[in-house]
Structure 1
Amino acid sequence: MKIIAPSSVSKKELPLQLNISFQKVFVLFQKYTNTEYAHHPYHGAAKEMVRIFEEHPELLNGFSDISLFKKYETQINLVLDPLFPEPLLLNEIKAASIPFSFTSFKFTERFENILKNAGEDYELNVRNFEDDDMYIMACTFILGFVYGYNVDLKRPFYFDIPDKTTGTMKYYRTTFNADFSEITATENAPKITEKDFKELLNNFDNIDLWKEKFPPNSYIFRGFGLINLFDVTAEEMLSSIKANLLAGGPHLLYHLQNNLIDFYGIKDLKLGYSIFDNINAKICETIVKKSNSIILNNHAEIKCDSNYFCDAVLQKVFKNHETFIISDIEEYGLATNKNPFYQNLKLVGIKSIILIPIKATANGDLALLEIASPRAYELNSVNVNKLKDIIPVFEAAVKRTAEERQNVLEATIQANYTSIHSSVKWRFYQAAEQYHLDSQSDENAKLDEIIFNDVYPLFGQSDIKGSSDARNIAIKEDLTTQLSLAINVLKDACKYETLPIYDELMFRVSAYLSDVKKGLNAGDEITILDFLKREIYPIFNHVKTINSALSEQVFIYMKRLDSELGVVYEKRKEYENSVNLLNDKLSKFIDKKQIQAQEMYPHYFERYKTDGVEYNMYIGQSITKEDSFDDIYLYNLRLWQLQIMCEMENVAFSERKNMIADLRVASLILVHSSPMAIKFRMDEKQFDVDGAYNIRYEIIKKRIDKANIKGTNERLTVPGKIAIVYSQEKDALEYLKYISYLQSKNQLGVIENLELEDLQGVTGLKALRVEVIYQKDFDAKNTITFNDLIKEIEA
């Protein structure tokens, strides 16, 4: 007799002593031994069965030693044969079993074959049932059987049984028949009252309470049960696919492929996924995972036309949005003259494939699901119907993915193209919610103004010094190059044709060249380029027809021109590349650092790229709706700002080796101690100061970097130094403390105390200017931490 007993059975604690008994079968047989059934066909057999029980009383009284199954194998088989009718042995998946331990001892042939295919090391364990779960389920069984308290804890049992033949997993739901069993209480079993029952109902997860009311081995189970298994692989796969699609994640395609492997019973089935771009008529890879499409086969995209696909695929899949099945790739190849689609599938070893188009967006984009097998006819027009219940799940997932992608795009736009910083976004949502609420009852509802009162401003900039002069020099050098090249062409033309027009044009080009070398005036560049296009280029078109040498000279000239701008753009490009490199480095650095600063206290931050980087910050109670503002947060942000300016100076200085143009930055901080209001300007879609008094602050910001030191012609902002502009002495004392701290870290050097020349509408400004000590081998990742700054403030 085949016996399956999970290895954990002997260790499993239960409130029941499990005794195998066939008493209730005996009672059934005994009934047919009565004289009233003397002529019944079962009468003779029943008498024989009763004799077996009389000769082997253990079968009637019960036993717990499972080794006795072998001893009584013949007798047990005879006793249970009526419950396992022969016509059903090849169809039903049934076994006699001991409840709660799942020790099983008689099986139908189909069940035995399933277990044989599962492998010798397979154990019949229930899925997702911990020992505590099984203990409590046994207790509820006792409550109903012994005390009449019925508890609805009907959790279906599931077995996951591998099929070694196909290399897949099969899933079975189990029903249990307890008609041939009974439960009795021992002397040690506490009597369960209605109060106990209610207490248990309110404490399902309290295993200690259940064990108190139902101590281990305090009840006796006598009998056996019958389990029937039903193949629910298809339903399980549908459920698992739904769960995986909801979970998403980077390994989604891998999980779905495993689902379909079990669903179809094809161990090497492949799943692919691609997107059909309806606007550009091409199939491109999806962002789920690189190279996850079968039909793309490592191509980034393919043109979706009759040069690649056959007309049948184009019509059915991409126009009618219907599933397309190729049962035999070789037959398809013969019918389509082995088109590129066939060749690609053959290259990756595909012999049958199902293409399922799923509408992804309103503009006609499709998600293309690809299910493939390395064998012909394993996927066909018959078994494609198994997917009917799965395709709607994929459709819902594709729609959700498209919506999520749209949300990501909108979030990216909001993060990079609008002025709504994350710290103040809550206020915009609040205003929007109020507007939608008001608009339901008032058609003239208006959006609230977004104003933050009593916030402290911080302004800083790292300006590329001498950028206008550097740009003018680059323009001058490019024009000089272009005019010199034009003169070279005209000189060579004179060697082959003695035409006065060449000399006259050379004279005019040389005159422009002389003017450029002396210096550029506004409009000079446009005038020169217009002259070249109007009068020189037509001559060049003639010159290059004279001979190959002149044609080569014209070619050399044209090759030096920028393809889009039509001018020599070499020095300017070097300059712009250097500016862009420096701007990007500085912007990314402060953006990354600013995220860390938000952890201290939420504050508004906005940054702009010019010739360099400038930024505004505002901090105050009104910016956040939760945290309580304290001056320490303002002081800490000011120290953070000074520290960041030191580090940005080092970033810029260390980038000099990577720039063709040698650019330096000059750094400035503007200190303003009075709180102000900022208001979101709906027309400009950005924040600005609110109130006439606060306009003075904006004027200072725009003019301060052009200020001179009082009594000199020297600019305040110079490379290698940070200028800190203030108007109140208490601000200078505060920043001197910060400077002293950074001097101790060998980041700042000599301090200058300066007075500034009066600006238009602004008087009485002063400044601290402090030397930056550049760090050798500066690493932006290894800087003073935020905690260091907080400790300094608190000290």
Structure 2
Amino acid sequence: MVPVSFNSFQVLIEGKFYNDMHTEVLDINKGECTYCLVDTCLSFNPFVEHLHERVRTEKTLKSEFYKYVLDKFERDTCIDLDMHPENAENYREMLELIYSILTPPILNEKEFFWALSTPVPDKIFFSTDAFYEFHTNHHSGLHAVNIGKGELFSQRQKRFIYNLILERFYGFSTVTKNELLFAYTDPESNLSRYYNIQTNSQFVNIKLNGELPEINFDTVEPYINDYEGIEKLEEMLPLSNFKFEGFTVITLTDVTLPHALESIRNELVNHSNKEKEQYSLVLESLKILSENPAIEFGLLPFLTVNNKLIFDTNECSQSVLISSAKEFSLAEETFYAITEDYKQNPRPVFFRSLTDEKVLKHPFLNVLKQSGIKSYGIFPVYYNKKMAGIMEVYSYEEILLYEKLLSKLQTAIPLIAQLLQNSIDQFAARIESVIKDKFTSLQPSVQWKFNEVAWNYLKKGSKKKKNQDIETIVFDNVYPLFGAVDIRNSTIERNSALQEDLKALLTIIMETLTVLKGHIHLPLIDRLIYKCEEWFEKVNGFITTNDELMLDTFLHDEVNPFLNHFRQNYPDERVIIDRYFDALEEENGLSFANRRNLETSMQLVNTSINHYLEQVQEDVQESFPCYFEKFRTDGVEYDIYIGQSIAPDKVFDVLYLKNIRLWQLKSMAEIAKITYGLADQLSRPLQTTQLIFIHSNPIDISFRNDERRFDVEGAYNIRYEVVKKRIDKVLIAGTVERLTQPGKIAMVYFNQPEAAEYQEYIKYLQEQNILTDDLEFLELEELQGVTGLKALRVGVNYEIALEK
């Protein structure tokens, strides 16, 4: 075997011409005006020192090459030179030797982004063709991604300088690497591309002028990566004490694809954006991964309610199939059938072109074709072996090499699966939150207690037999507050609406029978008209529940069969008879109009009250956590419980009770004004009354698992509940006047100190023009088992706008 001679390698090196290397000076700073931050000297000395070390330690054939290069530098007197970037061409041979040593021989200068710069990176003086072309064409469009907002080029240079000083002189090796991430928009594809720019300072020596100050790492650590704190470092380490000698090596790496994946991963981890924005950013990253501006993506999580797919959500709006189906009115039943079928038989499906034949075979493609889409693909996405949704790939052009595209996306699929599963979990959490808020008594203020009891139950279950009883959840010594907003005379209003509807129905029947009488001669018609007139008189007076049932029987057994017969057998009479049957329709029939209007009005009142209470609950909880429970009646009632046992980690004081009592009185005034302001929106006039029950002594409450709500505990506490239930219709003693009146707030109490406290609140709210100056002190009638009740009653000022 012929031994390798270094002479042949030497000839090869000397004979190689780097025509693709540039010595033109390139400014890194993008035109920003900078001043000399530190004394610098562009020199080969550090590199020559490196060559001496390699010659001394290298045991392979490379040592001959290092000796050859070292000899060239020493023979050509390239040591102790103070070069200028503009004179780089004079040292081309040396620069090419540096390139030969620092880079693999097989690299292509037209593809490798590599350059040499001044000791503190400012000017590029030697670069590969690839680096030079990239800088020339794209440098002005580059923008840094991973630096502080508003950070200037000079500030980045200072960070570089101080990082190097702290590492070389103090051994602070935890400083940030000299890497920057830059991005620009490719003008041809209009897609973002990302590049990592790394600065190697191996061939930079730092000379110290004077003594080195003593510095503790803990002192400087807060300022190392905070460009706004660089001034502190300048005070500790003046740059005039240092000189940088040598050169830096800069490499630029295309990290577009890894960065796109990292962007998706960050969106999943940080949750810094709302769900819709998160989907948009992920779709943009997929587009970058595809490296094809003609390709678009869609994502569709499989959200379900009771195991049925639903699509009318923000998450689903990121699917082109969903948006096209809505835009071009694809039949909902057809769409659901298609998606359910796909869910049962998931598989990748790709249509390179949407031809008429394919549309005929797959009708759902028609809406996509109408949207201008020419290629479309569906790919199932699985999370833990269960399908979480689909990814769509589509284009307004025909896609040919979709297999190559899918290979690029493989690394992103697990992240997409996590995103879709997050949407499924978040949707389920929203459903659960609504259920908890609207249908159960469990609230955040008491959730901790339920968690505690549940954990104790689980711990016991692992040690004892199954089906053990769970402990009762009790809160002792809590102060109760009760409030009721009632729709005045709701029973009378219902009876009135019923009467008006029944009279309207009877009138339609009599009009219908009268018309039929002119065409059909049957004495039975006169009898039915007579019975309707009797019912009309009865309905016009007081009608009982029994009367209502008997009237329904009359209609069902006599009127309906009679008119149905003529509707089926006498086509000419169908129009007039249909008018009667149309009136029976509960949703829009004339015979339910007044009851519908009443129900709509009551719903508007109650919804407005509930909406207000839901909005202010956060304010109620802010000072001290409390339990707040609403009940639907003909109006809205609520219980509030506050005390130390509700929030054991926070010190309770009576001042929190006083604060919530003041809030309750003021909120009642605001509710009265809200319902008063609804008058123009109500199809039937309704008024509300406002009632507060003042109870100074604490009580105990426990959670009843059977009814899923809290109830009072103990005989004494039950008395509170009894009084609360009986005062809604209480009369003023010696009169027939109800305590609760529209436009008023009534406060029921037992003891004078309770009244005195509320008098202070009333006076304060009167001065705020929220309540009127008409406070009444009232004695109340005796109720069954309850005596000694008194009340305060005061008016609400409707003319002055209340504070929100």
Q: Place the TM-score, normalised by the shorter chain, in its bin.
A: 0.7 to 0.9
Deviation digits for residues 339-378 of structure 1, max 9, x if unmatched? 655444444444444433224799x765222233443337
In structure 2, what is the Cα distance between the partners aligned to 1:347 and 1:721?
62
CA contact (8 A) 1:174 1:227 kept: yes
CA contact (8 A) 1:93 1:230 kept: yes
2:285 is the counterpart of 1:259: yes
- Structure 2 partner of 1:756: 780
- Structure 2 partner of 1:724: 747
Shift of 1:395: 0.8
In structure 1, what is the Cα distance between the partners aligned to 2:717 and 2:309?
56
User: Match for 1:506 among 529, 550, 560?
Assistant: 529
The aligned amino acid for 1:106 is F
In structure 2, what is the Cα distance between the partners aligned to 1:388 and 1:345?
25
Deviation digits for residues 293-336 of structure 1, max 9, x if unmatched? 2223354497699978999x998x6454333334x435x55544
Shift of 1:120: 5.0
In structure 2, what is the Cα distance between the partners aligned to 1:314 and 1:606?
40
The aligned amino acid for 1:527 is M
Shift of 1:63: 2.4
Structure 1 residues 734-743 or 752-761, which shifts more? 734-743
CA contact (8 A) 1:23 1:60 kept: no
CA contact (8 A) 2:109 2:130 kept: yes
Structure 1 residues 85-94 or 480-489, which shifts more? 85-94
User: Match for 2:546 among 523, 526, 533?
Assistant: 523
Q: Percent identity?
A: 28
User: Match for 1:90 among 110, 116, 137?
Assistant: 110
TM-score of the two chains, using structure 1 as the length reference: 0.83
User: Match for 1:245 among 250, 268, 272?
Assistant: 268
Shift of 1:417: 1.2
CA contact (8 A) 2:486 2:635 kept: yes
The residue correspondences of 1:758-773 to structure 2 (distance < 5 A) are 758-773=782-797
In structure 1, what is the Cα distance between the partners aligned to 2:425 and 2:695?
45
Deviation digits for residues 723-759 of structure 1, max 9, x if unmatched? 2212112222222232233333332232332222211
Q: CA RMSD in A?
A: 4.0
CA contact (8 A) 1:124 1:159 kept: yes
Shift of 1:607: 1.5
Say if 1:123 and 1:478 are closer, same or farther in 2 by CA, change over 3 A.
Answer: closer
User: Match for 1:324 among 349, 353, 360?
Assistant: 349
In structure 2, what is the Cα distance between the partners aligned to 1:616 and 1:44?
91
CA contact (8 A) 1:671 1:725 kept: yes
CA contact (8 A) 2:24 2:86 kept: no
User: Match for 1:610 among 614, 629, 633?
Assistant: 633
User: Match for 2:491 among 468, 480, 488?
Assistant: 468
CA contact (8 A) 1:723 1:769 kept: yes
In structure 1, what is the Cα distance between the partners aligned to 2:554 and 2:289?
75
In structure 1, what is the Cα distance between the partners aligned to 2:298 and 2:497?
53
Say if 1:230 and 1:11 are closer, same or farther in 2 by CA, change over 3 A.
Answer: same
Say if 1:659 and 1:389 are closer, same or farther in 2 by CA, change over 3 A.
Answer: same
Structure 2's unaligned 5+ residue stretches are 1-22, 56-62, 149-154, 225-229
In structure 2, what is the Cα distance between the partners aligned to 1:130 and 1:450?
60
- Structure 1 partner of 2:84: 65
- Structure 2 partner of 1:2: 24
2:506 is the counterpart of 1:483: yes
CA contact (8 A) 2:747 2:792 kept: yes
Q: SS at 2:543's partner residue? A: coil
CA contact (8 A) 1:668 1:723 kept: yes
In structure 2, what is the Cα distance between the partners aligned to 1:500 and 1:672?
68
Q: How many residues align?
A: 751
- Structure 2 partner of 1:674: 697
CA contact (8 A) 2:143 2:182 kept: no
Shift of 1:653: 1.8
CA contact (8 A) 1:323 1:355 kept: yes
- Structure 2 partner of 1:696: 719
Say if 1:154 and 1:16 are closer, same or farther in 2 by CA, change over 3 A.
Answer: farther
Q: SS at 1:706's partner residue? A: coil
The residue correspondences of 1:216-255 to structure 2 (distance < 5 A) are 216=239, 218=241, 220-248=243-271, 249-250=273-274, 251-255=277-281
In structure 2, what is the Cα distance between the partners aligned to 1:678 and 1:314?
48
Structure 1 residues 162-171 or 690-699, which shifts more? 162-171
The residue correspondences of 1:326-345 to structure 2 (distance < 5 A) are 326=351, 328-329=352-353, 332-333=355-356, 335-337=358-360, 341-345=364-368
In structure 2, what is the Cα distance between the partners aligned to 1:618 and 1:187?
73
Say if 1:437 and 1:157 are closer, same or farther in 2 by CA, change over 3 A.
Answer: same
CA contact (8 A) 1:678 1:688 kept: yes
CA contact (8 A) 2:359 2:366 kept: no
The residue correspondences of 1:445-456 to structure 2 (distance < 5 A) are 446-456=469-479
The aligned amino acid for 2:134 is I
Say if 1:446 and 1:639 are closer, same or farther in 2 by CA, change over 3 A.
Answer: same
In structure 1, what is the Cα distance between the partners aligned to 2:333 and 2:357?
16
The aligned amino acid for 1:88 is N
2:287 is the counterpart of 1:287: no
Structure 1's unaligned 5+ residue stretches are 33-39, 786-795
User: Match for 2:298 among 239, 262, 272?
Assistant: 272
CA contact (8 A) 1:4 1:123 kept: no
Say if 1:14 and 1:188 are closer, same or farther in 2 by CA, change over 3 A.
Answer: farther
In structure 2, what is the Cα distance between the partners aligned to 1:490 and 1:255?
69
Structure 1 residues 594-603 or 702-711, which shifts more? 594-603
Q: SS at 2:716's partner residue? A: coil
Shift of 1:188: 2.2
2:687 is the counterpart of 1:664: yes
The aligned amino acid for 2:773 is G
Shift of 1:447: 3.0
2:459 is the counterpart of 1:437: yes
Say if 1:81 and 1:247 are closer, same or farther in 2 by CA, change over 3 A.
Answer: closer
The aligned amino acid for 2:320 is I
Say if 1:648 and 1:211 are closer, same or farther in 2 by CA, change over 3 A.
Answer: closer
2:217 is the counterpart of 1:200: yes
In structure 2, what is the Cα distance between the partners aligned to 1:240 and 1:123?
17
Q: SS at 1:376's partner residue? A: coil
Shift of 1:389: 0.7
- Structure 2 partner of 1:296: 322
CA contact (8 A) 1:49 1:79 kept: no
In structure 2, what is the Cα distance between the partners aligned to 1:352 and 1:106?
47
Say if 1:310 and 1:268 are closer, same or farther in 2 by CA, change over 3 A.
Answer: farther
Shift of 1:20: 2.8
In structure 2, what is the Cα distance between the partners aligned to 1:753 and 1:730?
14
In structure 2, what is the Cα distance between the partners aligned to 1:23 and 1:720?
90
CA contact (8 A) 1:62 1:222 kept: no
The residue correspondences of 1:769-788 to structure 2 (distance < 5 A) are 769-775=793-799, 778=801, 782-783=802-803
The residue correspondences of 1:64-213 to structure 2 (distance < 5 A) are 65-69=84-88, 72=90, 74=92, 80=98, 82-83=100-101, 88-98=108-118, 100-101=120-121, 103-119=123-139, 122=142, 130-131=156-157, 133-139=159-165, 142-143=168-169, 151=173, 155=177, 157-160=179-182, 162=184, 163-173=186-196, 181=203, 183=205, 185-188=207-210, 190=212, 199-200=216-217, 204-207=221-224
CA contact (8 A) 2:772 2:797 kept: yes
CA contact (8 A) 1:351 1:373 kept: yes
Structure 1 residues 430-439 or 370-379, which shifts more? 370-379
Shift of 1:204: 3.6
In structure 2, what is the Cα distance between the partners aligned to 1:530 and 1:620?
56
- Structure 2 partner of 1:744: 767
- Structure 2 partner of 1:788: none
CA contact (8 A) 1:189 1:214 kept: no
Deviation digits for residues 134-175 of structure 1, max 9, x if unmatched? 2343135525xxx9x694668372443534343333334466
TM-score of the two chains, using structure 2 as the length reference: 0.82
Shift of 1:125: 9.9
The aligned amino acid for 2:722 is I
Structure 1 residues 243-252 or 299-308, which shifts more? 299-308
Q: SS at 2:322's partner residue? A: coil
The aligned amino acid for 2:402 is N
In structure 2, what is the Cα distance between the partners aligned to 1:527 and 1:599?
55
The aligned amino acid for 1:6 is I
